[in-house]
Amino acid sequence: MDVPVSFLDQLFNERVLHDTGVDGLYARSALFEDVISRFEAFALSFGKDEISESMVFPPGMPMPDFETSGYMKNFPQLAGTVHAFCGHDRDHMGLLQCMAAGEDWTKGQKATDVALTPAACYPLYPILARRGMLPEGGAYVALQSYCFRHEPSKDPARMQMFRQREYVRVGSAKQTMAFRETWKQRGSEMMELLQLPHEVEVANDPFFGRAGKIMASGQREQELKFELLVPVNSTSKPTACMSFNYHMDNFGQAWNILQADGSPAHTACVGFGLERIALALFRHHGFDPDAWPEGVRKVLWG
């Protein structure tokens, strides 16, 4: 009896992705990257007159800002901190002996000032706060970042290192909620144009532990998070390829971002999981973009 080949193995066989031996950590082919670039250009064609600024972040953010974000309270299991060797010659000899003996040499590594970015918009907030009060119209930023989440998986749509493109709206409750509604609609329009099956649903973040269950149901009750789901690795458990989030004034308060009237800013973001969207396209339209539906090709390659 034939064992069906997993989507991940198909991606390896087609050399769209390359196995590294660690689940969720893959090299990307030039083709895969081209699909991502094309999707990003497509996404940026929506709402481009509304954007006040565009930024790209490196994969890490300042440790103090990471601490301020509250991520270790809510999602400690997913976070990655960057550690380094900080010793001298003698410590180094000890470290090498430890490695040679096959022992755990990483215990001596010390935390640096850098944490891996868990969500693409986190590095933005302290930058905005540092600039002082927001202008009257608030801020509307397009950004992109590599993110890290410590959740090794055989599902190619659940990578440990992946990119998010986001639009972030910072301003009043009214501005941010209107922004989120607009993008919920635009997200669906984008998926129509890409001819991908999809649905938008209320969702919750994967809060940690027992207390996290209460957080998750509170988030659902208040409809703070919606996800646009597309079947990627599984038809029964579709994958969140976009999310539409309203943070109320949580981040405004945490980082002291002030509206023009001096009150804490509200924030909302729409996030596109770039690897997930590329994988959805390969899954539904095949491994050869030259053979993708004419309409999809036109949207992406013009």
Smaller CB separation from a copy of itself, 87 or 137: 87
Which of the stretches 30-38, 170-178, 252-260, 286-294 binds a copy of itself when contact is defined by CB under 8 A?
30-38
For residues 29 and 15, is the Cβ–Cβ distance under 8 A?
yes
Please compute Rg for the chain using Cα positions.
21
Q: Does 258 bind a copy of itself (CB under 8 A)?
A: no
Does residue 210 interact with a copy of itself by CB under 8 A?
Answer: yes
| CB 277, min distance to a copy of itself, A | 16
19: contact with a copy of itself by CB under 8 A:
yes
* Nearest approach, Cβ of residue 105 and a copy of itself (Å): 7
Among 10, 83, 188, 289, binds a copy of itself (CB under 8 A): 83
| Min separation Cβ 32 and a copy of itself, Å | 8
Site for a copy of itself in 37-56 (CB under 8 A): 53-56
Nearer to a copy of itself, 123 or 238 (CB): 123
Given the complex with a copy of itself, which of 34 and 249 has the nearer CB atom? 34
Cα 157 to Cα 136: distance, rounded to the nearest angstrom: 39
Angle of the 30-44 helix axis to the 294-301 helix axis, nearest 10: 80
Smallest distance, Å, CB 268 to a copy of itself? 20
Q: Residue 297 in contact with residue 281, Cβ under 8 Å?
A: no
Pairing between strand 225-230 and 110-116? unpaired
As a whole number of angstroms, the distance between CA 54 and CA 56 comes to 7
Q: Which is nearer to a copy of itself, 72 or 296 (CB)?
A: 72
For a copy of itself, which is the closer residue by CB, 26 or 282?
26
CA 132 – CA 143 distance, rounded (Å):
20
Whether the CB-CB separation of 165 and 144 falls below 8 Å is answered with yes
Tell how far CA 183 is from the center of its chain: 16
Binding part of the chain for a copy of itself, among 125-133, 176-184, 192-200, 288-296 by CB under 8 A, reads 125-133
User: How far is the C-alpha of 114 from the C-alpha of 105, rounded, in Å?
Assistant: 20
User: Measured from the CB atom, is 160 or 239 closer to a copy of itself?
Assistant: 160
Query: Which letter does DSSP use for residue 258 in this model?
Result: B
